[in-house]
A = this chain, B = another copy of it.
Amino acid sequence: MPLPIITKDTNPSELNAVVDKARSASNFLKAISHEGRLMILCHLVSGEKSVTELEDLISARQAAVSQQLSRLRLEGLVIPRRDGKTIYYRLADDKPKRVLEVVYDLFCHDN
Contacts and interface: CB of A to CB of B under 8 A. Distances in A.
Nearest to A104: B2
A97 interface: yes
A45 B1 contact: yes
Instruction: Give the number of copies in the complex.
Output: 2
Interface in A20-38: 21-26, 28-30, 32-35, 38
Contacts of A100: 2-3
Contacts of A29: 29, 32-33, 38, 103
A74 interface: no
A106 B95 contact: yes
Contacts of A4: 108
Contacts of A39: 3, 22
A75 interface: no
